[in-house]
Amino acid sequence: MIRKLPTFRSTHQQKGFSLIELMIGLVLGLFVIAVVVTVFVQSKRNFTQDEQVARMQENGRYALLLLSREMAHAGFLGGMSAADNVTTAEVFSDTCAAWFNPMEKPVEIVTAATANDQTCFDGEALFSDTRVMVVKRTKGKSTTTPLANKLYFRTSGQGGTIIKTAAAGTTPAGFEDWEYTVEIYYIKGDDSDGDGTVLPGLFRKRLIVSGGAISIADDGLMVPGIRNFGVQYGVDSSGDGIANQYEIAHSFSGDLSKVVSSRVSVLVGSTVEDTATTNNKNYSLYPNSVDTASVAGLTGSGYYGRVFTTTTQTRNMAYRIQISSLSKR
């Protein structure tokens, strides 16, 4: 008969975790969780920052495209080869009328305070210390069959007249009709997403004909996040078509016919605030100038900011200088 031997159990194997082991395990677990959470939060913050910087670059590039294109076409009056002999058959009753007439200046750069005095800005809260750009020019290509309810610049090549068409018609022989436009760019607050946060943006107005009357169309927000912009004129003081110095446009009192280029700068801010950072930077819209930019709520906030600048030739003004120089030889 086989007898079973007694079974012995190790009391050591029956023990659980000691309090010290449990506490060490908890600490290690919490450390691992903290590392994971930190990496996640930092990665999310980096993603948000990169996304905002990318949006700022996109908004800044588009704003520069709009403003520099307007400056490049400022004063373009169809095929007319001289700035003289421009008349208008229309009456601009708005207090902004001086801006609409190309006989005054092909481009106006004024302060928000000046623009706020005009009735075309009634009820709008333009951001203080920002700029307003008014560009007068023709657009598209010439036509000999003008449409109804349009402003046209009718020219024979040496002079021209701004007219308003009541009905479609035919251009007189020896003339061309070019559609005439006035573009007004300015900075004001925007809350189009309805979240209650009002941020600056680039807005536009246009001169149009509506119901047989000249009026102003509001195109609304063009580019979000634009907090300010500035323009410098490249002035040709030697008559060779090359800029000798750059002067701030809104305080320029010289001869606009000597402006051969323009330097456009935009101050762009992010549209989402980073509460973990504070922006204490200074910005300048005018390189090599003491006139600093209004930061429009950037300083002391969590919004990022960048200044983008481009230089473009004001072809029409430069062309007129060359025409003038040739005529004197």
pLDDT at 307 over 70: yes
**Is 17 contained in some domain?**
no
At residue 283 the predicted structure's pLDDT band, cuts being 50, 70 and 90, is confident
Task: Render pLDDT for 260-277 as a digit per residue (tens, 0 to 9).
Answer: 899 999 999 888 888 777
pTM: 0.80
pLDDT(295) > 80: no
Q: Considering the domain boundaries, does residue 280 fall inside one?
A: yes
In this predicted model, what pLDDT tens digit does every residue of 118-140 receive, in sequence order? 777 776 778 878 889 999 888 88
Task: Answer yes or no: is 165 within a domain.
Answer: yes
pLDDT reported for residue 63: 95
Q: Which domain holds residue 92?
A: 49-327
Domain count, the chain: 1
Rounded to whole angstroms, the Cα distance separating 39 from 47 reads 12
Residue 43 lies in a domain: no
pLDDT, greater one: 17 or 234: 234
Indicate the pLDDT class of residue 288, thresholds 50, 70 and 90.
low
Task: Give the pLDDT score at 265.
Answer: 93
Q: How far apart are CA 83 and CA 24, in angstroms?
A: 86
Residue 326: pLDDT band (50, 70, 90) is very low
Kindly tell me the sign of the dihedral angle through the C-alpha atoms of 138, 144, 148, 153: positive
Q: Assess whether pLDDT exceeds 60 at residue 324.
A: no
- Domain assignment present for 4: no
- Predicted pLDDT at 10: 56
User: Which residue from 290, 287, 268 is spatially nearest to 279, judged by alpha carbons?
Assistant: 268
Domain membership of residue 15 (yes or no) is no
Please give the mean pLDDT across all residues of the chain.
Answer: 80
Q: How many C-alpha atoms does 215 have within 13 Å on its Cβ side?
A: 9
Residue 91 has pLDDT above 70, yes or no: no
What pLDDT is stored for residue 322 in this prediction?
Answer: 41
Does 7 reside within a domain? no
DSSP secondary structure string for all residues of 67-131: HHHHHHHTT--TT--SS-SEEES----STTHHHH-TTT-SEEEEEHHHHTTSGGGTT--BPTT-E
- Does pLDDT of 69 surpass 50? yes
Half-sphere exposure of 295 (CA within 13 A, CB side): 15
User: Could you tell me if residue 262 is inside a domain?
Assistant: yes
